[in-house]
Structure 1
Amino acid sequence: MMLMSLSSYLQAIDKYWDMQDGYKIAQLLSIKYNQVANLAQENPGNLVSKLVKIPIDEIVACHLKCVFYATNHKFLDAYQQQSQLTQALTKIMQARREENWFLPLMYVACLDLRLLAQRAEKDGIGDTDKPGEILEKAAECLMGCFRVCAADNRASEEDTKRIGMLNLVNQLFKVYFRINKLHLCKPLIRAIDSLPFKESFSLSQQITYRYFVGRKAMFDSDYKAADQYLTYAFENCHRSNKKNKRLILIYLVPVKMLLGYIPSKRVLEKYDVVQFWDLVQAVVQGNLRVFDELMIEHEEFFIKCGIYLIVDKLKIIAYRNLFRKVYLILGTHQIPVEALQTALVSLGQADVDLDETQCIVANLIYEGKIKGYISHQHRKVVVSKQNPFPPLTSLSYPTNG
């Protein structure tokens, strides 16, 4: 491929700006454009001002500086130039109220901003030692673009800037999840859900959106909503994209298990999340000793994925299954609390006394996993004669592996 001169590069940007070709400009002003690294300069001002008209000239100058710094591994400087670029683009979008053809440029600018902020954070470069500060500032820039898009009330999908909202929301989700500010996701979700054309967004954007909303619901303990969103993301993610399907499955599996579903071993093996299979068996069998051992063995994986506390909640189902075994062995609807405590102690729960055993039973009754009541006077759990341990859903999933 013949290398482009800086003059030719600038003239091309100026031409496509006049043509209002947002896709071509986005390609040329991406940090991934394969020729720009050879053209980047720390001080490109004079040539840019001669060959590129206002207002795009400021964006082009920032971009050339950004790529220059990134090429020389000065990622904080690169991020700061990209931040200036994004703010300049926001002003252009505000000024051009009736236009949205430059949205592809906005998508690329905001993606590059987030990636450069992540790289600067990763390298530990910043004005302070506060983790997440650079990403937080990047989110403020992204919100500037989001507000401009959200304020465009034109009804036509073809004309309104609101069609750019979901792309920005997904970028913001990626930042907020990384810096653990999930509460900031709520107004963004409300904004997208209120759009009359929310189903018109590209499938890839909808999958990303539902993936993050599903994870948010999971952390809010709304497991039915989490199941709905994550299942949509998994089933609509292209089967060839195993990396993303695996990522979705890491969160979908514990959610499904909390709702009583048993995952398919074939699917767990296919997407390399076999860490869950032995755990599934321990929960089904009510084997608390094995459950605790597996939580320790896979602790690093669960913590890294941010699901340790969610997976640990599966222990309540293991309690239910163990107590059901005791009920079947004794063959009585009046189960001594001591019998349940003995079962717990025999499976490694050595510190559990009678009071704590009753608390576990009370939680199971409250959650509907046991039908009955505790007779404190007789220290017995009196379970219903009809369906005392309501069955947990046992269908394998997902169907679209």
Structure 2
Amino acid sequence: MAHLTLNQYLQQIDNAWRSRDGISLADFVSFRHAHVASSKLQMENPESSVERVLEPPMDEIVAAHLKCVWYVNNQDFVQAYYCQQLLVQAFVKIFQMQRDQNWALPVMYAICIDLRLLAQQADKLLALRGSGRPLETLEKAADILMSCFRVCAADNRSAEESTKRWGMLALVNQLFKVYFRINKLHLCKPLIRAIESSPYKDQFSLSQQITYKYYVGRKHMFASDYKSADMYLTFAFERCHKKSVRNKRLILIYLIPVKMLLGYMPQRGMLEKYDLLQFWEVAEAVKVGNLELLNNVMQHHEAFFIKFGIFLILEKLKYVCIRNLFKKVFDILKMSRIPVAALMTALKLMKIDDIDISETMCILANLINEGKIKGYISFHHKILVLSKQQAFPPLSMVTR
């Protein structure tokens, strides 16, 4: 394939097109196929050569692909992206005309993945040149991906085998990858509704379902819906292939903080297996209510937590840590009426030196409001009055 001539390449495409072989055709317009390494296919102006062999509209798609290959090999990812954009737009027109067929779905998958990846490379190049808005190309790519999604979603035919709706989840996953990168998670909502209401929701390929659950789980996590996040991320982790260690580790980076916020602390053996011991000291500090240690650990691993966007999520564990600290005070005093001054003293022992009674009562009010502590504050007497039944309920019962 690396020595494929232009004529051989075009003939194979023509054969795949005429026989409706979507898988082979997808290979011949994909950057993950060996033909892109052939020097004989790297042409700046391939239009006339392509038109001699292929008929419209296939000639437009292949010419755009060959130009894209040319620009990629010349490291001009901006022009490569524009060629890929023309390719996808031309494909969408063909795809819409194939009203009773979905054999071209593999082609759509291949060219949409390349569109997203080329957009990322184009944005990097534009950033180096100091031109354009950050992630501007990726935003444009999202609009084109959405046009493909609309074609699939609009196919309301009842014939399961030939409906284009089988392509919806793959496109949603590509769009999720874009929206998370450009930080526009609100755009995920209509996509989630479309998938959740689809009759094929549980029939898509497992790999696509895992990717979908991973991103939806992360979205729920950022929305502080930890129980839903736990459900989706657990699905993704448990069904991810055991040999896909890198993917399982990535899922755990988000699942572990969610589990901790629900009161379930990770085991050291699992953290060692997936090289995630950054969470071990966090868990140990939270369990014993050691706020000083938690602050130190968070600072020590700050770069790692920020890289994956979970630093602010883990910051919420400070309230869990304080709740556990107050529970230790309760266990020591063995009283249902605890002076707020005693809780303030415990906080000061954790190196929170600038805290006062009013701030301590504010923290208590938040913990009570969130259901992490059952009781009320007597502001006049500056006393925490705890419930006689489960004053410190399990976090899994009170966290959203």
TM over 0.5: yes
User: For structure 2, which runs of at least 5 residues remain unmatched after alignment?
Assistant: none
Question: Deviations along 1:46-103, whole A, 9 cap, x unmatched?
Answer: 1100101111110000000000100111111111100100000011111221111111
State the partner residue of 2:321. Answer: 318
Q: 1:2 to 1:276 in 2, by over 3 A?
A: closer
Partners of 2:279 and 2:231 in 1: CA distance? 20
State the partner residue of 2:22. Answer: 22
Q: Which residue, out of 131, 134, 137, partners 1:131?
A: 134
Is 2:175 the partner of 1:191?
A: no
Partners of 2:298 and 2:2 in 1: CA distance? 56
Contact 2:2 2:36 in 1 (8 A): no
Is 2:8 the partner of 1:8?
A: yes
Question: Deviations along 1:218-238, whole A, 9 cap, x unmatched?
Answer: 111111110000000000000
Partners of 1:187 and 1:127 in 2: CA distance? 34
Partners of 1:190 and 1:177 in 2: CA distance? 17
State the partner residue of 1:154. Answer: 157
State the partner residue of 1:398. Answer: none
Q: CA deviation at 1:3?
A: 2.0
- Secondary structure in 2 matching 1:124: helix
Partners of 2:47 and 2:340 in 1: CA distance? 80
Q: CA deviation at 1:2?
A: 7.4
State the partner residue of 2:54. Answer: 52
Is 2:342 the partner of 1:339?
A: yes
Partners of 1:280 and 1:364 in 2: CA distance? 19
Q: 1:217 to 1:176 in 2, by over 3 A?
A: same
- Secondary structure in 2 matching 1:59: helix
TM, length-normalised to structure 2: 0.96
**Cα RMSD over matched residues?**
1.4
Q: CA deviation at 1:317?
A: 0.7
Partners of 1:166 and 1:185 in 2: CA distance? 12
State the partner residue of 2:118. Answer: 116
- Secondary structure in 2 matching 1:374: strand
Contact 2:2 2:34 in 1 (8 A): no
Equivalent residues in 2 for 1:305-384 (5 A)? Answer: 305-384=308-387
Q: CA deviation at 1:386?
A: 2.5
Q: CA deviation at 1:331?
A: 2.0
State the partner residue of 2:171. Answer: 168
Contact 1:10 1:51 in 2 (8 A): yes
- Secondary structure in 1 matching 2:112: helix
Q: Partner letter of residue 152 of structure 2?
A: C
State the partner residue of 1:79. Answer: 81
Equivalent residues in 2 for 1:379-390 (5 A)? Answer: 379-390=382-393
Q: Partner letter of residue 72 of structure 1?
A: N
TM, length-normalised to structure 1: 0.96
State the partner residue of 1:399. Answer: none
Q: What count of residue pairs does the alignment treat as equivalent? A: 394
Q: Which residue, out of 194, 217, 222, partners 1:219?
A: 222
Contact 1:90 1:145 in 2 (8 A): yes
Q: Partner letter of residue 166 of structure 1?
A: L
Identical counterparts, % of pairs: 59
Partners of 1:328 and 1:102 in 2: CA distance? 66
Partners of 1:200 and 1:390 in 2: CA distance? 39
